[in-house]
Structure 1
């Protein structure tokens, strides 16, 4: 709400200007009106359109994309959908991973190394995740952090195409150091008359064993009326998808030697996993997309376009997991021994919970249910006016609103008894494990309710954006046109998020009895929590046979959080001397700020004002008796940003020494006791800054269809809203924690190094962060030797400054009228790094072959990326474990950066037949510096996936086909370094993940 007033005033001003401009245009003499071109010359994302082509389907899409790339004055790659609702892959992220230099991750949350997203999620361009997202050249975002759009929330069936800009020019909206991904939808005037397009399909996942439908319909028409030409378009898509992933996990490895008192092999240091586990997850998703567009051309030189786009995604995850986790006490079972490789790494053996034992206890059994609902709505109106044959103007107003709501709920239970010693074998391509059969497993009387955990977020973000653009054409030998414009935005974002809130239900160590799964036990409502055997059949398609008779909570109890919460609280025992029983989220997001360091609610507002000028030029250059055309543009964009945020200042109450009955006065002065007031209050902060962003794009025509390009630009990406939160969370750290009362209470890093704890510590956000900025350079050589044939090579270099990472330093904080030095952990701008690399791309249909063989084609690309001096940021700047992992003291690459990646696509188009086999591969990359639960870096190993499709076109009205995904049944492997620090460069397998093979049967056509 805090940005609505200024954004609406600005919107009214620009809106009034647009109306006035239209009224003035409608009053012009007819001669001036008809002489002007109707082309949208002032469109900030203008791409030369492709003329009418006779080819259709896959070949037509590739030809259209090649024409866009060839005619653009920038370095851009595109994907187009010539068929209605028909990008070449089932999701936007899967489609754009085929573009050179683009890679995707396959986890919905980078820190969650245990749960793989089948369709892919995060996007990197040239190894960087600082990617800007747009709809039709306008800003678009989801409400997760209010900065970028979750591409996996957008139905691919709405897309007319996707453009990836790898080096910015002045007219492009700032904010993408890596690049900009622009999602294009259709408009009524894109086609000459009426059009009805449809697509219907049914998809099947062989692990999920479930059929899911997807359908889309597009209706478009245009009419000549007394008030001018009018066009209307309606496009709706409903995409349903269900998948299953099976995961086998091996815990991080522990050091076993005499020094640690856990020697297994006499005189040697060996590394043994803490245990293993397995889980199966069903992911169910529905995406709904709506696009309504109206265009009105009252006169030849005026075009009015109004559009509303709504994208909604509803998803759920239902997970069942078993963990066998003796942790660091893992030892060989009685009468057995472990085997190791030459480096002392465990290879196989039978585990026991204690040396010489014969049993273990399951550490965790859980049923988890996660549901997420995200919506992004985008409304806009644009007016283009060709004032004369030289001058064109455009005005644009846009309103975007995004919301998201998530509940993640896990209910744990444990076996009240022991299992026989399990065996683990890591010598093959897949791990092998066995658990001895036991009658304990099939009786709910042998299980008890152990713990519960919940997570909630509820976020919204909105933005008003107004812009006016213009273009003036010259008749000069060098100068071709001058483009200019101004843009204003007002954005607000509110993020509400809890920590993962774990607490026990009943525990064996509580001494208060257990709530058993059969409804028995001393707790009053133990029989109210329903349970059932976990559905873990056909795990890993039988390649890793494991018991599927463990018991856990039912899916019905997990889906109703409020009802389950009341039952769990009634079942809890609350007499334990340690820890605290689980208490469900009470609706107050700020209630967690006094524990765990989290901020609770983050209010952000941001206002930007930008202006740009861009000169397009072109001329023939004589060299060596030959003429070489040269064209391009040079421009300057200046943008001012005003950022303000509001968080919460939380101060711990002054606590006495827990070891001796003494008061705070033993360690703190009266002023310091006042500083630790135990209170909470609002904290505000922010900064203003201006960035000057020049850009240059050159295209040199060496020979017909042979281009040499050069691009250079400055660009920025603003900090995430989570990093800019002006929060303060102060705790006391008196000297008695160090066993002494003589600690010098001057808070300095030197004292800390001398083993003297600080009086006060804090986790804070940093509203004074600067944007990350970069100087980017690209040079490419492109040869277009056929309508659908090209060979190109691009080299790129990025100098990146102001990386945002997290560190600890001294700051002064004032509370209750008292200012104290505090050791604070907070995000900050750090250092300089570089990203370098190159990409090579080739595509061709072999038309020179005889007969049906001329339908064969090949599309291939390869990308190499490397970085130096890069910094990773903590995903949560208020989590000390994540902060420490982001700064591990050893060199780590950027998260998400693969040095090598490639695509090889075999194509076939001949007559009514069309087919594709597409293989995508990327090298091992750092997934996260701090994987959830294990709190160490995790890597995704080399991964390749083969997809394909076959279509037959009966007529324009009907095309049928089958699409395939993951034909080779690829396994995703997550690695961690051993032992549980990053100082040892070796890797061990942590997760092996198997996903569905997917088959989709498609009907598609248009009238």
Structure 2
């Protein structure tokens, strides 16, 4: 009971919150608690991780779900984004060889923290979670509600990633992890290796701790896509007169993306306690990512005209099959981005227990980030005489060119060249100080805390101008340029033309200056003035918080009430278009937000807890969304419309008013059943919309962000965890984790209601677990229901449009099995994408598909050594 009371006190004080400067190792506290309670089996590995995560959730003030390392650096997935797909209320997407696009409760408005600190990637506000290898982690906390002491931001929630520190270990510790990863469609096996060494020791000056970790990851991948363009009524059948009742795509196509990503990461930490009341520390994290990829793209125009023959799906006016002759347009394009990015963060701080009841802390953090990309695109034209297509085959398009050899360079001619580049960077400095006073557990107000934070951040971005270089007379024959062409990556499924010739990606980069000269240009172009922007953002925040407690009859009640006041000053500099001339623009604004927060937790019984949390949060727009300039595309689509985008310097931050009610039953150290009902109301929610606009006599499909007046989201989360230790013999090794989330929400724009982009009404995970003796295993099923990807896709006018792009449900199955060779060594075999999932989306209705996408099945073999 004493241990339980101490944990509750720490949790109420915010010390178990990793967002607090006074964050301690809640896992260690949870494990200490575990040793005071009888259990049927030895608590190690998977059970210990589950028990620690459950204890963190139980003792926290906020609504939080955690994933804790089974041992130093051992998680069931290879990066943070992959892990989060198992958390209640969290959805992810997988593409480009890994998980990305993390959302909480159907919304993208989240904040990512690293050890409780704000961190970002270049001009983005959030850390790219896939950049953090799990070998560096101690745990990951997903906060659905926020305390006043937490860094503001995140109307959907906060993800706090915690790395290990030397004082987390009893003494010397070291680990080494090696992994080989095979991907079936990329047909590669890649290495990954990481290591960590940590030690703590004492001398006459005090206690010291030092930790250093490194990680290297390399991963090839292959994503294959076959697609249809949106439905159009420009359909003809042996006549030049369109039939307005019949719709079909103008183009069919394939796209295969091959890539290789290399990540170099390192983290370090130093801790020094000259006395039991004072601690000084310094820690940091760095990552570098080199990402080279090729999007081998093929567009097959259906050549609607007097020679076209087509059939319809029975009982509809939708085109099924098409045969067209007369030299239909056929384009091969290779988009070859080379990305290079770095992010570094360092922090120094101190903690001082002035008296047993008064603690203070301070910390200074500096973050820098940069990103650049070079992406030349070379196009070639093929010249077939006939195309045979089918618009809906296994969720995508199938087409072929009878009697035409798409792998013969003599059948191609050079077409346009697009010379793209872009670069961004940013830095921040922030300082904070906090104080906590313990007023005694016998009083109603048991603790008071307050703090201040000052942060300064800058961001900059630019991209090229005049990137489009059209084909000119006198271009050499494709077959006369040695090393120019390569066969595309073959598709793993039958969609007709399985391979075609594409410009080799390395050729474009290796010969970039020579290619530019072929098209009449010397060297790289200057930046587009409309793309240039520099943003400076200064924030100052002050918070106060108190922890209270009382007995409501036999029921102990505790909680917190606090408020955070944040002042934000924004200075945006860029260029706007005035009479087709760039004119410098400066936009300054200042906002003050008052963010109250209330938590109440009732210990209804020893195992049953009721919660109520309410608070106000804000989410600032992405820096790029403030850019007053516009970016105009250089190539038109089949309907003669160009693409373009721009920002909005008048954007306001999103305001969220959130309430959560939860009932949690902890019936065993690793057994729980929880349910949370939530409701969010939003003001100034930001959406991106497409509109047709005209510049210089050309029509552009322009994308802009803007605020909408109202939005709301409500739903319920249910979570279950249990190990069936009561079963006899080897059956006692089984366990299960399962969770389900139902969401319903909308925003209002110009009087019209629409669901949130990316929000699935239904999502759930079922994870079967096994741990007995030296063996452990996991079989995980993830389901994410249908959702809207894009509203008014491509701004298609009536009578066809507007059309929303909708994604079919996504199902993923992963599995792993581990064997502990001895106390120091273990081996794990895991499979991701066990069932070879597909990603399908469609234009409004399922029989008008856009894409079918397939990704690698990944098999990994990991060896772990620890000391």
Same fold (TM over 0.5): yes
Structure 1 residue 84: Cα displacement: 2.6
Structure 1 residue 369: Cα displacement: 1.1
Runs of 5+ consecutive residues of structure 1 not aligned to the other structure: 1-36, 107-115, 353-357, 507-511, 520-526, 573-581, 591-598, 654-677, 731-761, 810-823, 872-886, 978-984
Distance 1:431 1:826, change over 3 A: closer
Residues 842-921 of structure 1: pairs in structure 2 closer than 5 A: 842-870=720-748, 892-921=754-783
SS at match of 2:130: helix
Between the aligned partners of 1:936 and 1:363, the Cα distance in structure 2 is: 26
Give the structure 2 partner of residue 51 of structure 1: 31
Structure 1 residue 428: Cα displacement: 4.7
Distance 1:781 1:257, change over 3 A: same
SS at match of 2:98: coil
Structure 1 residue 932: Cα displacement: 7.6
Structure 1 residue 426: Cα displacement: 2.2
Give the structure 2 partner of residue 551 of structure 1: 501
Distance 1:807 1:269, change over 3 A: closer
Residues 211-230 of structure 1: pairs in structure 2 closer than 5 A: 211-230=189-208
Between the aligned partners of 2:306 and 2:722, the Cα distance in structure 1 is: 59
Residues 746, 753 of structure 2: 8 Å contact kept:
no
SS at match of 1:63: helix
Structure 1 residue 600: Cα displacement: 1.5
Between the aligned partners of 1:856 and 1:189, the Cα distance in structure 2 is: 33
Structure 1 residue 342: Cα displacement: 2.1
Does the alignment pair 1:445 with 2:424?
no
Between the aligned partners of 2:174 and 2:366, the Cα distance in structure 1 is: 29
Structure 1 residue 40: Cα displacement: 9.1
Between the aligned partners of 1:470 and 1:297, the Cα distance in structure 2 is: 19
Between the aligned partners of 1:763 and 1:256, the Cα distance in structure 2 is: 27
Residues 35-184 of structure 1: pairs in structure 2 closer than 5 A: 43=21, 45=23, 48=26, 49-52=29-32, 54-106=42-94, 116-143=95-122, 145-184=123-162
Between the aligned partners of 2:322 and 2:652, the Cα distance in structure 1 is: 54
SS at match of 2:625: coil
Question: Which TM-score applies when normalising by structure 2?
Answer: 0.89
Residues 367, 410 of structure 1: 8 Å contact kept:
yes
Give the structure 1 partner of residue 718 of structure 2: 840
Q: 1:567 aligns with which of 510, 515, 526?
A: 515
Between the aligned partners of 2:737 and 2:466, the Cα distance in structure 1 is: 45
Residues 789, 806 of structure 2: 8 Å contact kept:
yes
Give the structure 2 partner of residue 688 of structure 1: 590
Q: What do residues 187-215 of structure 1 show as CA deviations (whole Å, max 9, x unaligned)? A: 00001100011111100001111111111
Residues 587-736 of structure 1: pairs in structure 2 closer than 5 A: 587-590=526-529, 599-622=530-553, 627-652=554-579, 678=581, 680-727=582-629
Give the structure 1 partner of residue 635 of structure 2: none
Give the structure 2 partner of residue 481 of structure 1: 447
SS at match of 2:755: coil
SS at match of 1:426: strand
Q: 2:821 aligns with which of 949, 954, 963?
A: 954
SS at match of 2:834: coil
SS at match of 2:81: helix
Residues 447, 547 of structure 2: 8 Å contact kept:
yes
Does the alignment pair 1:388 with 2:388?
no
SS at match of 1:723: helix
SS at match of 1:961: strand
Residues 836, 865 of structure 1: 8 Å contact kept:
yes
SS at match of 2:763: strand
Structure 1 residue 923: Cα displacement: 1.0
Residues 318-333 of structure 1: pairs in structure 2 closer than 5 A: 318-326=294-302, 329=304, 333=308
Q: 1:491 aligns with which of 457, 468, 489?
A: 457
Residues 764, 825 of structure 1: 8 Å contact kept:
yes
SS at match of 1:270: coil
Give the structure 2 partner of residue 17 of structure 1: none
Distance 1:843 1:470, change over 3 A: same
Residues 199, 211 of structure 2: 8 Å contact kept:
yes
Give the structure 2 partner of residue 284 of structure 1: 260
Question: Which TM-score applies when normalising by structure 1?
Answer: 0.77
Q: What do residues 606-640 of structure 1 show as CA deviations (whole Å, max 9, x unaligned)? A: 11111111111122220xxxx11111100011111
Structure 1 residue 568: Cα displacement: 4.0
Distance 1:643 1:988, change over 3 A: same
Structure 1 residue 443: Cα displacement: 3.2
Give the structure 2 partner of residue 350 of structure 1: 322
Between the aligned partners of 1:894 and 1:845, the Cα distance in structure 2 is: 37
Structure 1 residue 229: Cα displacement: 0.3
Between the aligned partners of 1:482 and 1:46, the Cα distance in structure 2 is: 18
Give the structure 1 partner of residue 38 of structure 2: none
Higher-Rg structure is: 1
Residues 505, 568 of structure 1: 8 Å contact kept:
no
SS at match of 2:171: coil
Residues 257, 269 of structure 1: 8 Å contact kept:
no
Between the aligned partners of 2:56 and 2:240, the Cα distance in structure 1 is: 65
Give the structure 2 partner of residue 454 of structure 1: 419
Runs of 5+ consecutive residues of structure 2 not aligned to the other structure: 1-12, 35-41, 633-643, 692-701, 797-801
Q: 1:536 aligns with which of 489, 497, 502?
A: 489
Higher fraction of strand: 2
Between the aligned partners of 2:774 and 2:837, the Cα distance in structure 1 is: 31
Does the alignment pair 1:942 with 2:809?
yes
SS at match of 1:696: strand
SS at match of 2:366: strand
Residues 324, 360 of structure 1: 8 Å contact kept:
no
RMSD across aligned positions (CA): 2.9
Structure 1 residue 401: Cα displacement: 0.7
Between the aligned partners of 2:374 and 2:803, the Cα distance in structure 1 is: 26
Distance 1:535 1:442, change over 3 A: closer
Structure 1 residue 726: Cα displacement: 4.5
Residues 368, 558 of structure 1: 8 Å contact kept:
no
Residues 807, 839 of structure 2: 8 Å contact kept:
yes
Does the alignment pair 1:1002 with 2:850?
no
Distance 1:928 1:569, change over 3 A: farther
Between the aligned partners of 2:719 and 2:466, the Cα distance in structure 1 is: 45
Between the aligned partners of 2:724 and 2:237, the Cα distance in structure 1 is: 67
Structure 1 residue 830: Cα displacement: 2.8
Distance 1:322 1:828, change over 3 A: closer
SS at match of 1:719: coil
Q: 1:791 aligns with which of 647, 650, 673?
A: 673
Distance 1:485 1:409, change over 3 A: same
Between the aligned partners of 2:193 and 2:592, the Cα distance in structure 1 is: 46
Between the aligned partners of 2:315 and 2:588, the Cα distance in structure 1 is: 56
Distance 1:940 1:46, change over 3 A: farther
Structure 1 residue 936: Cα displacement: 6.2
SS at match of 1:968: coil
Give the structure 2 partner of residue 665 of structure 1: none
Residues 650, 729 of structure 1: 8 Å contact kept:
no
Give the structure 2 partner of residue 398 of structure 1: 365
Q: What do residues 493-548 of structure 1 show as CA deviations (whole Å, max 9, x unaligned)? A: 11223479333224xxxxx45532023xxxxxxx4x742242333x12x4335242
Distance 1:775 1:40, change over 3 A: closer
Between the aligned partners of 1:399 and 1:552, the Cα distance in structure 2 is: 44
Q: What do residues 288-329 of structure 1 show as CA deviations (whole Å, max 9, x unaligned)? A: 2111100000000111111011122221112322221136x2
Residues 84, 1005 of structure 1: 8 Å contact kept:
no
Residues 235, 248 of structure 2: 8 Å contact kept:
no
Q: What do residues 222-257 of structure 1 show as CA deviations (whole Å, max 9, x unaligned)? A: 111111000000111111111111111122221257
Residues 234, 292 of structure 1: 8 Å contact kept:
yes
